[in-house]
């Protein structure tokens, strides 16, 4: 399994990444190597698309400047072949019955400048919820604000860019202080060669050396000495 070139077992992703000739508009940067199909990328540009029947306009029409970021997020989420280091199994018993996907991404390091631009462009919009994954009223075909959550100013629901990027998709993203082009954060926007491969390489290395050090530690530390520390996990 190649963590640097794979697709998550989500709702719409392909089983393996590969070239796609005809990706649509904002998703075209992924055409050389993508986890999405052409159809998915067309849907990504629609309101209430069949992808998730998700209604961006749940508190009045979302502004075009804001919506383009959500379209780009959808392209990134559906098409990225370099999310391997952040893919996690969805444990149906611990989390809510999250049956619409088998895997998710957790803490993908998003570039500070992209997150801030996204938030700036949505500042004058409205929403009723900070987590858009859960708790909607689905009694009609699309999501509506549930009873008791009123539409509020974007900046009231999300006081900072960090709060928006991290909360909106249940910590899919981790806000960083790195800038696009640094090779230390994932970019939703790019043209030409996908800059996220080397970012995935960097974080994959870091994860591997951390788990190597942990295994050394476990190998050489007598279990009895660890008992007091193990109490942390029992109490």
Ligand X SMILES: Nc1nc(=O)c2nc(CNc3ccc(C(=O)N[C@@H](CCC(=O)O)C(=O)O)cc3)cnc2[nH]1
Q: Which residues bind ligand X (CB under 6 A)?
A: 52, 54, 73-74, 77, 96-100, 104, 132-136, 143, 169, 172
Residue 26 C-beta: closest distance to ligand X, Å: 14
Residue 185 C-beta: closest distance to ligand X, Å: 14
Residue closer to ligand X, measured from CB, 102 or 210: 102
- 3-class state of residue 110 by DSSP: strand
**Bridge partners, 104 (sequence order):** 88
CA atoms of 119 and 157, how far apart (whole Å): 11
Angle at 12 between CA 11 and CA 15, to 5 degrees: 100
Residue closer to ligand X, measured from CB, 79 or 209: 79
Residue 228 C-beta: closest distance to ligand X, Å: 38
In terms of residues, how long is the chain?
Answer: 235
Residue 165 C-beta: closest distance to ligand X, Å: 9
Residue closer to ligand X, measured from CB, 49 or 63: 49
Residue closer to ligand X, measured from CB, 101 or 218: 101
Ramachandran region of residue 145, left (φ > 0), alpha (ψ -120 to 50) or beta? beta
CA atoms of 39 and 17, how far apart (whole Å): 15
Residue closer to ligand X, measured from CB, 39 or 208: 39
Closest CA to 70 of 44, 33, 42, 107: 44
Residue 46 C-beta: closest distance to ligand X, Å: 13
CA atoms of 75 and 41, how far apart (whole Å): 7
């Amino acid at each position: 399994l190649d963590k640097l070139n794979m697709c998550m077992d989500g709702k719409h992703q392909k089983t393996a990444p590969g070239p796609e000739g005809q990706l649509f508009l904002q998703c075209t940067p992924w055409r050389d190597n993508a986890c999405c199909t052409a159809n998915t990328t067309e849907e990504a540009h629609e309101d209430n698309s069949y992808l998730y029947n998700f209604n961006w306009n749940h508190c009045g029409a979302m502004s075009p400047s804001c919506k383009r970021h959500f379209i780009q997020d959808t392209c990134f989420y559906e098409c990225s072949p370099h999310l391997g280091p952040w893919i996690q199994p969805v444990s149906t018993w611990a989390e809510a019955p999250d049956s619409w996907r088998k895997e998710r991404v957790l803490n993908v390091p998003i570039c500070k400048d992209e997150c801030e631009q996204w938030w700036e462009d949505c500042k004058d919009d409205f929403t009723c919820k900070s987590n858009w994954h859960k708790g909607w009223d689905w009694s009609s075909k699309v999501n509506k604000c549930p009873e008791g959550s009123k539409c509020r100013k974007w900046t009231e629901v999300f006081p900072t860019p960090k709060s928006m990027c991290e909360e909106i998709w249940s910590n899919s993203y981790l806000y960083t202080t790195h800038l696009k082009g640094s090779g230390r954060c994932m970019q939703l926007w790019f043209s030409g060669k996908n800059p996220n491969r080397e970012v995935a390489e960097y974080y994959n290395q870091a994860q591997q050396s951390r788990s190597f050090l942990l295994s050394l530690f476990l190998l050489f530390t007598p279990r009895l000495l660890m008992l007091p520390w193990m109490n942390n996990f029992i109490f």
